[in-house]
Amino acid sequence: MPLRLLIIGAHPDDADYAAGGTAALYRQAGHDVYMISLTNGDAGHHVQAGPPLATRRREEARRSGAVIDAPYHLFDIHDGELEPTLENRWKVIHLIRSYNPDLVLTHRPNDYHPDHRYTSQLVQDAAYMLTVPAVVAGTPHLMKMPVIAYLPDEFQKPYPFSPLVAVDVGPVLGKIVDMLHCHTSQFYEWLPYNVGVGAQVPTDDKARRSWLAQQVEERLRKQAERFRSQLVRCYGEKRGKAVEFAEACEPCEYGAPLDDVSARRLFPFVFV
């Protein structure tokens, strides 16, 4: 029976940026993937904003999901204005119950961006309530909790990212780049402008993809080195030491346990 992976990000490129390789491996193995942005991305740009930008980012996300034949849905909440309200908690409960995932991946609760922090809080606040029939009674409650895990980041306080599972994404590296390449407004416009490297972005589409690929490779190569001990534990010493590009996830204690038994079930392409 196919596994069901739900990736809940705050913005329309977060899910595929942090877990695009894992999503691609899930789809390659015949499992189901659903990517979500809790905001519509309508503020993340230096020359566009509002409905035109939201429409553009919705289409970019759709095309990114299409790379691996997975739906990518955006909530209609303003970028930069996500709050952990009761109304938004109900929306997240409805989302998770309706999809009934085996595994939920989301942001960690400590992060530079308030939308990231509140996405994490909303998932945490929804977690136990998923099994409570009287809460969001119009959507059937879950009989068992999904595993919930955190996406990687580099923040150190109150503690650094501590993964249990690391994934070799080298076999789907091209898919990751193809997905992120769809987010033109982010990776070729807003983010380069925001960090002061806009002049470095090529104008030719092929050159742009190559430029982006170099950045993706550098980031995922660093993650492989950072998560080397987890890669060795998951893949064995020989292959684990050879992995060049990696993603990883850290257990969230509010969901079902992510332990060695559940990890082998949820990541069959890792523990082979």
Q: Where are the domains of the chain?
A: 4-168+248-266
What is the chain's pLDDT, residue by residue, as a tens digit (272 residues)?
Answer: 899 999 999 999 999 999 999 999 999 999 999 999 999 999 999 999 999 999 999 999 999 999 999 999 999 999 999 999 999 999 999 999 999 999 999 999 999 999 999 999 999 999 999 999 999 999 999 999 999 999 999 999 999 999 999 999 999 999 999 999 999 999 999 999 999 999 999 999 999 999 999 999 999 999 999 999 999 999 999 999 999 999 999 999 999 999 999 999 999 999 86
- The CA-CA-CA angle for residues 42, 187, 193, to 5°, reads 80
pTM: 0.97
Residue 120 to residues 32, 67, 111, 145, 178: CA-CA distances in angstroms? 22, 26, 9, 17, 27
Strand-pairing partners, residue 257, are none
Backbone angles phi, psi at 249, to 5 degrees: -145, 150
CATH number of 4-168+248-266: 3.40.50.10320
Structure tokens at 54: 């939201």
Strand-pairing partners, residue 249, are 165
- 78 vs 82: CA distance, rounded Å: 7
User: Which H or E run contains 32?
Assistant: strand 32-37
Q: Which is nearest to 222 in space by CA: 208, 243, 203, 206?
A: 243
Counting other chains too, the contacts that 190-198 makes at CB distance below 8 Å and 24 or more residues apart are 190/44, 190/45, 190/46, 193/46, 194/46
pLDDT digits (tens, 9 = 90+) for 189-247: 999 999 999 999 999 999 999 999 999 999 999 999 999 999 999 999 999 999 999 99
Give me the amino acid identity at 173.
Answer: L
